[in-house]
Chain A
Amino acid sequence: MRCLSAKIISRSPGETERIGFNLGTFLKSSGSAKTVMLYGDLGTGKTTLVKGIASAFGIAKRDICSASFVIVAEYETSPPFYHMDLYRLERPEAVDAAGVWEYIGTGGVVVIEWAERLHGDIEDAVKVYITHLKAEEREIIIEGVNSAEFMAACEE
């Protein structure tokens, strides 16, 4: 079932945030996969999506901003929430040195922007690909969720 995916069109940052919230809610209820790998160019709305995901775990939207500088922003929620941004880590050694792998599989929710910089895969991770279509329109593909279940959760 995990090979299934959902494809959604977002027409605004507000919609991207809502899609993030739905994904967060889904992750919370599914109880299994808690790692999200995000892929998308500058300005596609990755951080906006993270605001939505985090809000499902009780984190205020304004407390989520770009994590490019700190690389890992840690929130003491239950379960703990880690917002990662690997933008600045261009070499695989830098990813290792930043201790990124230490957060994965610890039971917390891990959301990783610029996941391609990991140069590795994470078992059971949900993958989200965001593509810029035009102006405020984005295509969001979510892999690793059962599409029907996810869509049903979104409608609740």
Chain B
Amino acid sequence: MIWPVVDEALGTANVSLEAVHAVAVCHGPGLIGSLLVGCGFAKAVSYARNIPLVGVNHLEGHIFSAFLEQEKSEFPFLSLIASGGHTSLYIVRNFGQYEELGRTRDDAAGEAYDKVSKLLGLGYPGGPLIDRMARDGNAEAFDFPRAYMHESFDFSFSGLKTAVKLTAEKNAGLLGNNGFLADIAASFQSAVVDVLARKVQWAIVKTGILNVALSGGVSANSGLRKKIKEMAGENGAKVFLPSLDLCTDNAAMIASAGYHRYVSGDIAKLDLNPKAYLPL
């Protein structure tokens, strides 16, 4: 299944495999089956073409996806990665220099979206569905909890998920009512977005860093994009947002991070092992 994708990518870019100087592959963190397939393929190409293999951390790819459409990365910057599998905040001082400020202690923000969407009967993936519904709802209809966890940059979305679940159960008869669903969606989204934006704001104040980069599927959320831009405006910070199709997982971000590793001479050996759990 991977060859047709590679063929299409090369064809669209109008580049032949002979013109490729190195092959970058994501070796973690992620779904082990997918990582195995990708690594196996990349190793085969590297070996057959006799070109260097470069291993890239999935999170590193996300971090730099915010600058794929910029001329260059604006160091130092704060990087919020919010996706189905991760919610983390980093200080990025340079390529390869990451300081984790905080991460989720339970569910990722995107995961909360998916689980809430499912329990409301809206479908999968939850992000775009809830984002759409939230536009027609009242964000103050339900006072869902916001886990600010003072003195910490860590996140927690499990309690919010449970609160939505209990509200849905209490009002089971209204689950077919679009107005009710829109109010829940808007109130839930506002809770998620408030926490994400507030933590980034704290980070701006604490570090004095005025460049903010967002990435991961949740950075495609219209509510979050709006709130982060407003917050940044009030704090004199500059926001870097990937365009919508570069927010979710993509190969361009792996290639871009791989390029930096290749240039710095960080070449992987053929025994590169995929890892489901791989901190940055």
Contacts and interface: CB of A to CB of B under 8 A. Distances in A.
B111 A70 contact: no
Nearest to A47: B106
A65 B107 CA distance: 7
Interface stretch (B25-33, B59-67, B128-136, B227-235): B25-33
B158 A70 contact: no
Interface in A33-91: 42-43, 47-48, 62-63, 65-66, 68-75, 87
Closest 8 CB pairs of A and B: A43-B162, A69-B85, A66-B107, A73-B277, A74-B276, A70-B276, A69-B84, A74-B277
Size category of the B interface is: 20 to 34
Contacts of A71: 31-32, 276
Contacts of A14: none
Interface of B: 29-33, 84-86, 103-108, 110-111, 115, 119, 154, 158, 161-162, 165-166, 275-277, 279
Contacts of B104: 65-66
A69 B33 contact: no
Contacts of B119: 42
A1 interface: no
Contacts of B158: 43, 47, 66
A130 to B, nearest CB: 13
A99 B277 contact: no
A121 to B, nearest CB: 24
Given A65-B103, A66-B108, A43 B276 contact: no
B162 to A, nearest CB: 3
29 contacts: A42-B115, A42-B119, A42-B165, A43-B158, A43-B161, A43-B162, A47-B107, A47-B158, A48-B106, A62-B103, A63-B279, A65-B104, A65-B106, A66-B108, A66-B111, A68-B111, A68-B115, A69-B31, A69-B86, A69-B110, A69-B111, A70-B29, A71-B31, A72-B276, A74-B32, A75-B277, A97-B33, A98-B31, A99-B32
A149 to B, nearest CB: 31
Contacts of B276: 70-74
B116 to A, nearest CB: 9
Given A70-B30, A70-B277, 14 more contacts: A42-B162, A42-B165, A43-B165, A47-B106, A47-B107, A62-B103, A65-B104, A65-B105, A66-B111, A69-B111, A71-B276, A72-B276, A75-B277, A98-B33
A70 B33 contact: no
Contacts of A97: 33
Contacts of A75: 277
A22 B119 CA distance: 32
Nearest to B102: A62
Given A65-B105, A66-B107, A72 B32 contact: yes
A106 to B, nearest CB: 14
Contacts of A99: 32-33
Contacts of A48: 106
Nearest to A87: B115
Nearest to A66: B107
B31 A74 contact: no
A18 to B, nearest CB: 16
Contacts of B103: 62, 65
Given A42-B119, A62-B105, A70 B85 contact: yes
A69 B31 CA distance: 8
Contacts of A42: 115, 119, 161-162, 165
